[in-house]
Chain A
Amino acid sequence: MNNYNLDFLEKPFDETNSYTKSPTRDAFGKAIVDLGRENKNVIVLNANLEGSLKLTEFTKTFPNRSLQIGVAEQNMANIATGLALYGKVPFLSSYAAFSPTINLEQIRLATFSKANIKIISSHYGLNTGPDGVSAQMTEDISFLRSFPGITIITPADFNETYKAIFAIAKHNGPVYLRLTRSAFPIFTKSTAPFTIGKANILKFGNNLTIIATGSMVFTALAVANELEKEGVSTRVLNMHTIKPLDEKAIIDAAKETKRIITIEEHQVIGGLGSAVAEVIVQNFPIPVKCIGLNSWGESGLSEELYISRGLSVSRLLTSVKIFLNNN
């Protein structure tokens, strides 16, 4: 179908699911080496998760610019802040369950100090799976979204992550970028532009807009593809930047499609859903349904957890149809 935006997608949504899959943390590991060659001020810090964050190659290539801080996320954030105030571009990397969690105070200090730190955290959401609730970080956007001046990004796939790493290095200011543990389809176009704060329309439509971020963007496309078969012309917005939010894209969607659904692998409170709802109620009130988490996670396979929490394609379709019937 030609209602897919081939400026941003390699091809229209493929029902046969022929996509290559990769965790977005793999893209970080690749991008940071290429970025390190280009920008010698790039320093990478990790807190005992060098292998998991795919930093082995960076450390091998730039041993003097890779800092193993040990299990000490507060110290990692403070050292990164010192490096940033000195003039370096530090990337502090860990799991989202530890950073920005254990070191939230240090990140707050860095943010109001306008320190140019890049917080890179993998393992957000439920896709940490069997590791259970303590490892499933579903509240991190909420923690940081109220910090004035911080940028928050969740790339949708490998290609977008690669570009985002370069974009945040060019951006002067604190950034929080979230990565996945598990493999997700690579579906965005490698040559498409990536602009911080600018949402991408992946699919055009007039009856409904689905706004998704990170791991749920591909799922949103699958849902929209099913809806289309039933005659619901559905727009899909890839909201890779949660802060600063692309308010124009949201207001345009509200005006043009009259109904909005948000989908995220995060608590609805304080996450993408809250952010979108804040824009809608103040600018162009229309019916909005925020789909995400409203409870803690637990151990299980990702697919099982998505089903149990209403984030599988089939359960999302059910929720969307109820919403459409009522609005």
Chain B
Amino acid sequence: MKSNKELESIALQLRIDVLEMLLNAGSGHLSGAFSATDIFTYLYFQQLKHNPQDPLWNDRDYFLVSNGHICMVWYAALARSGYFSVEELKNIRKLGSILQGHPWNIKTPGIFNSSGPLGNGGGQAIGVAIGLKIDKRPNHVYCFLSDGEHGEGSTWEAIMSAPKFKLDNLTFIVDRNGIQIDGKVSDIMPLDIISTENDEFVDKYKAFGWNVVTINGHDFNSIRNVFEQENIKDIPTVIIADTVAGKGLPEIEGSPSYHDWRGDNELAIRSIELLKSKLNSISDKQPYNE
């Protein structure tokens, strides 16, 4: 089991990788990649049963991403896990690259589903979970979603259908970072409408028949605690992770303005220096290379 310190150093490296990808590509999506980084770190370096040398390993967990624009952190996690070389990250968004601007399953080792248009990963994950149930296989399915994509009706169609099929082999992870491209989720199309006291987003999932847990998506104790719990029989689980857009870069944390990258190279270079110094202060050894 990896210590929090080890996980923190991996997360710092993934964030550095994302910034370097943005510098190389000149475009991409920053805020969501950073709010998701700590959960991706925990999934790829602690939680998921997977084998980078054999991406189609029969006993693997299935991991799908629904909000594909955050793929820079997915690519970083895959490269640092060993699915392809870290050097490959430099080619992201370039012609002929295995790393497309949004995830494309047929291009990239370790990418199970394509995404970009929002609201589709959840239903796809349900399909995988049903397939596993039909075959009576014990593998688990995880799907990563954004809060903003709950604006899509198809997301709610998926949420409504998973309990019907008794998919206790399915876990949604919702990155509740509170922002989307045009501003704050609470302004664009709020997930909490009436009450200022109750967590209505949680209540909505509960009303649809899900087991709901909330975590701090940047606290490895909080993340670890929930992933170590067994799923409840016959009921799908959603982990609603409270996160901060652009987490790790004090200059931009919480701002919707960096949903997509605006080519602020000086900010990226400054931020890389900041994260590198933090990484050095934690450890001079990169645990995933052991």
Residue numbers of A with Cβ under 8 A of B are 43, 64-65, 67, 69-70, 72, 74-75, 77-88, 90, 105-106, 108-109, 112-114
Contacts and interface: CB of A to CB of B under 8 A. Distances in A.
Interface string B125-145: 111111110100000000000
Contacts of B154: 72, 74-75, 78, 106
B114 interface: yes
B157 A85 contact: no
Given A83-B131, A87-B131, A88-B131, A106 B120 contact: yes
B217 interface: no
Nearest to A47: B157
Contacts of A88: 131, 134
Contacts of A85: 105, 112-113, 124, 127-128
Contacts of A81: 113, 120, 123-124, 127
Contact of B106 (A75, A78, A113): A113
A64 B119 CA distance: 26
Contacts, number: 100
B127 A80 contact: yes
Given A74-B154, A78-B122, A83 B130 contact: yes
Interface in B86-123: 104-106, 112-115, 117, 119-123
B111 to A, nearest CB: 10
Contacts of A75: 123, 126, 154, 157-158, 160-161
B269 to A, nearest CB: 35
Interface in B238-281: none
Contact of A109 (B62, B117, B160, B161): B117
Majority DSSP secondary structure for residues of A touching B: helix
Nearest to B106: A114
Secondary structure at the B interface, as helix, strand, loop or mixed, is: helix
Contacts of A79: 123-124, 126-127, 130, 161
B105 A113 contact: yes
B287 interface: no
A65 B113 contact: no
Interface of B: 62, 64, 104-106, 112-115, 117, 119-132, 134, 153-154, 157-158, 160-161, 165
A80 to B, nearest CB: 6
A86 B120 contact: no
Given A85-B128, A88-B131, A78 B123 contact: yes
B134 A65 contact: yes
Nearest to B131: A86
Contacts of B119: 74
B123 A74 contact: yes
B131 A82 contact: yes
A67 B130 contact: yes
Contacts of B134: 43, 64-65, 88
Counting chain A CB atoms within 10 Å of each CB, the highest count among B106, B127, B129, B131 belongs to B127
Contact of B127 (A78, A109, A113): A78
Contact of A86 (B122, B132, B161): B132
B130 to A, nearest CB: 6
A112 B158 CA distance: 21
A87 B137 CA distance: 13
Given A64-B134, A83-B131, A109 B120 contact: yes
